[in-house]
Amino acid sequence: MTILTQVQQVEIKYPSSDPDAIAESDIARDRMTYTVEAANLYFQGRSDV
């Protein structure tokens, strides 16, 4: 059995800008809008969400 004694730190690099838009098409935008609205309705009675 091997026991890990040290944890290696890994630097995470986040891009400062993204050349692609999130909603690249009308269908993608509509689906994202629907998903957000459905989630809002589903969790509307919860204060912890």
- Sign of the Cα torsion 34, 36, 37, 41 reads positive
Residue 44 predicted with pLDDT over 90: yes
| For residues 9-25, average pLDDT | 72
pLDDT above 70 for 12: yes
Instruction: Tell me the C-alpha distance between 49 and 42, whole Å.
Output: 10
* Ordered alpha helix ranges (H), 1-49: 26-42
What token pair was written down for 14? 């986040």
Average pLDDT in the 12-32 region? 75
